[in-house]
């Protein structure tokens, strides 16, 4: 998605060798018009997949999922993390490791909101090691819902998540594939 790549080139900052900081339009301040275009592009890619629900994970996925859901006209469910998991006993639960933050968190989704008959599209901001995506897929499988695919805003191709998930047969659609961020320069795939 050219508009997104242009914005990354203009505004992204680097943290260390492998983290891209996009706080100015995606992760802290949010450019709603850009998010609207992102939602429209996800809709173009998954329009024929009979999506009935969008699943994401707090926090940064929520805004993107909501803007996307307006195009599909379906609800958004977000997986809750850690102490936010106090939503009752009737939940699907899994553990997600964050390589970037060096932590791991228990995430959960109420059985009320995901179940058999749902056709679920996962939306998230970053794909790095793929643990968030794998955890959400686990929850969808446990719920016996159908998993349509994953829409990712920025995939980091130099980290293994995308490759591993595609090898498992997962449909991953990334709007910007960043292949490297060496020497202060971003290369797209």
Residues of this chain that interact with ligand G4P (CB under 6 A) are 19-22, 27, 57, 59-61, 98-101, 125-132, 156, 161
Q: 52 or 138, CB closer to ligand G4P? A: 138
Smallest Cα–Cα separation from 98: which of 77, 76, 121, 124?
124
Q: Tally the C-alpha atoms within 13 A of residue 162's C-alpha that lie toward its C-beta.
A: 22
CB of 62 to ligand G4P, least distance (A): 8
**How do 172-180 and 187-188 pair as beta strands?**
antiparallel
Q: 24 or 52, CB closer to ligand G4P? A: 24
CA distance 43 to 49: 10
Q: Tally the C-alpha atoms within 13 A of residue 73's C-alpha that lie toward its C-beta.
A: 2
CB of 105 to ligand G4P, least distance (A): 7
Residue 19, token pair as written in the block = 């983290």
CB of 35 to ligand G4P, least distance (A): 14
CB of 48 to ligand G4P, least distance (A): 26
């Amino acid at each position: 998605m050219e508009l997104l790549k242009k914005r990354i080139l203009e505004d992204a900052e680097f943290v260390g060798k492998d983290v891209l900081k996009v706080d100015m339009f995606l992760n802290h301040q949010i450019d709603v018009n850009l998010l609207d275009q992102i939602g429209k592009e996800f809709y173009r890619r998954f329009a024929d997949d009979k999506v009935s629900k969008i699943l994401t994970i707090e926090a940064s996925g929520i805004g993107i999922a909501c803007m996307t859901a307006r195009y599909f006209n379906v609800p958004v469910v977000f997986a809750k993390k850690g102490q936010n998991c106090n939503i009752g006993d009737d939940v699907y639960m899994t553990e997600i490791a964050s390589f970037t933050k060096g932590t791991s968190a228990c995430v959960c989704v109420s059985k009320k909101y995901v179940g058999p008959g749902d056709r679920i599209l996962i939306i998230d901001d970053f794909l790095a090691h793929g643990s968030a995506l794998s955890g959400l897929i686990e929850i969808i499988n446990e719920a016996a819902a159908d998993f349509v695919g994953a829409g990712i805003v920025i995939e980091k191709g130099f980290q293994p998540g995308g490759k591993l998930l595609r090898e498992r047969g997962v449909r991953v659609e990334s709007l910007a594939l960043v292949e490297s961020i060496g020497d202060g320069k971003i290369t797209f795939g």
